[in-house]
Amino acid sequence: MLSHRSMYLRSLYLKQFRNYGEQQVEFTAPKTILVGDNAQGKSNLLEAVELLSTLRSHRTSRDRDLVREGSEIAQVAAHLERDLGAADLSLVLRANGRRTVALNSQTLRRHLDFLGTLNVVQFSSLDLTLVRGGPEQRRHWLDALLIQLEPVYAAILQQYNQVLRQRNALLRSQASQAIQEAAPPAPPPLSPAPNELALWDAQLAVAGTRVIRRRSRVLQRLAPLANYWHRAISGSTEELAIHYLPSVATAQDEPEIVQAAFLAKIKDRAIAEQYQHTSLVGPHRDEVEFTINQTSARQYGSQGQQRTLVLALKLAELKLIEDVIGEPPLLLLDDVLAELDLNRLNQLLDAIQERFQTLITTTHLGSFDAQWLSSSQIFSVKAGQLFPT
Ligand code: ATP
Ligand code: MG
């Protein structure tokens, strides 16, 4: 058992979730290894834990995908022990997208109140897309981290996205209105839109500024931790820097200053927005840039450097969550062992040691050393069922 203050996932229950029928799992060791062939349900189980943590899956945004084929309703539940006391988490998913979340058997009207109970850091072999993929990958990663550190961020982001959708709808409706007006005979004039747009501009700037300031702050805290690990793994030959490149950049971060810059930039892009009928300014256009020794890791990083970078980011996330929350988060390692060479693997395992409860998936146990295997609980996963080994 873990010896010091910690967050401990004691049990997990899955019902009609992905390829699982009904499955109860008791976690009896700080490390759990899930071993099995491809497509048996290893990643699905980690995904269930991720959902209980953030109410989001990095693999899909449609609940229909999460509910077992042929079923309308799925459940994921867990018993969690924390310093503050135990918690029972339950999430019911429906193919129609409606969700029910409950904490200690109390259904929560505000899903926000569910967040922050279980903290996890997820590291999957696909995470290299964090470096190589498009900016939306990095925004998604950053947002997921922020939700864990500061659950209210989920509401802030939702509000921003709502304003953005409405502003975009207005820009589109103005476009169709312009087409109608150009075509004879002229239809009766529609509502005066410029004022309406100005109202949305103001709301976008206010909501967007909240997002920008939080993203900026978290990256400032994460950057030195990530550089520490990147240096360590690279044998002090490489420096990692993280640059936030917000759509609206300002030298100071007071809300009024960011909002003013936001509105000024909207003004600048007004004509382009009329042509493209979509909002061109705001955190939905933010970018995060990683550089290794002052060179873009995305464009010029070698595979090895990119792997080191992602590993360093994940270790930094663990530390940041531990510092902010006061308890070490769970670590979910999906298929990373095949991706990491021995040096990086050992760096990772050394860093984890006994400090974090860890769930690891693998297709074969060969990559683990004997000491790790002896301190782990091992399940084999076959066609959506777990078997103790
Ligand atoms: P790998 O080693 O390849 O990563 P894995 O064990 O991690 O494999 P998972 O991604 O956990 O595999 O599970 C994939 C399986 O789950 C596939 O067979 C897929 O068809 C099945 N699956 C996914 N969603 C559903 C669903 N909604 N209903 C039924 N089965 C599903
Ligand atoms: Mg998998």
Residue 5: what pLDDT? 60
- Contact call for residues 29 and 76 (beta carbons, < 8 A): no
Provide the pLDDT confidence category of residue 254 given band limits of 50, 70 and 90. Answer: very high
Identify the band that residue 340 occupies on the pLDDT scale cut at 50, 70 and 90.
confident
- Please tell me the distance from the alpha carbon of residue 333 to that of residue 203, in angstroms, as a whole number: 40
- Ion ligand 2 contact residues with beta carbon within 5 A: 43
CA-closest residue to ligand 1 atom 4: 38
Is residue 17 within 8 A of residue 87, CB to CB? The reply is: no
Q: Tell me which residue has its CA closest to atom 25 in ligand 1.
A: 18
- pLDDT class for 191, splitting at 50, 70, 90? very low
Ligand nearest, relative to CA of residue 380: 1
State pLDDT tens for residues 94-150.
Answer: 999 999 999 999 999 999 999 999 999 998 876 888 999 999 999 999 999 999 999
CA dist., res. 262 & res. 201, Å (int): 9
pLDDT band of 354, cuts 50, 70, 90 = confident
Q: Is the CB of 44 under 6 A from ligand 1?
A: yes
The pTM for the full model equals: 0.88
CA distances from 36 to 39, 122, 366, 387 (A): 8, 19, 12, 10
Compute, in angstroms, the gap from residue 185 CA to the centroid of ligand 1: 57
Arithmetic mean of pLDDT, 52-63: 93
Comparing C-alpha atoms, which of 144, 28, 104, 121 is closest to residue 323?
A: 121
Tokens (6 digits) for 210? 């909240």
* pLDDT at residue 34 greater than cutoff 80: yes
Which band of pLDDT confidence, cut at 50, 70 and 90, is reported for residue 3? Answer: very low
For ligand 1, pick from 42, 50, 71 the residue to mutate: most ligand atoms within 8 Å of CB. Answer: 42
Could you tell me the sign of the dihedral formed by the alpha carbons of 280, 286, 291, 294, in that order?
Answer: positive
pLDDT in tens, 355-388: 899 999 999 888 787 888 888 999 999 999 999 9
User: Partners of 361 in the beta sheet?
Assistant: 34, 334
Query: Which pLDDT score, from 0 to 100, does residue 339 have?
Result: 76
Amino acid 245: pLDDT: 97
Percent of the chain clearing pLDDT 70 (strictly above): 94
Going by C-alpha positions, the residue among 360, 329, 23 that lies closest to residue 147 is 329
Written as one letter, the residue type at 46 is: L
Quote the Cα angle for 306-308-311, to 5°. 110
Question: Looking at ligand 1, which atom is closest to the CA of residue 34?
Answer: 6
pLDDT at residue 65 is higher than 90: yes
Query: pLDDT of 152-173, one tens digit each?
Result: 999 999 999 999 999 999 999 9
Q: What are phi and psi of 97, to 5 degrees?
A: 95, -15
**Average pLDDT value for the chain:** 92
| 367 torsion bin: left (phi>0), alpha (psi -120 to 50), beta (else) | alpha
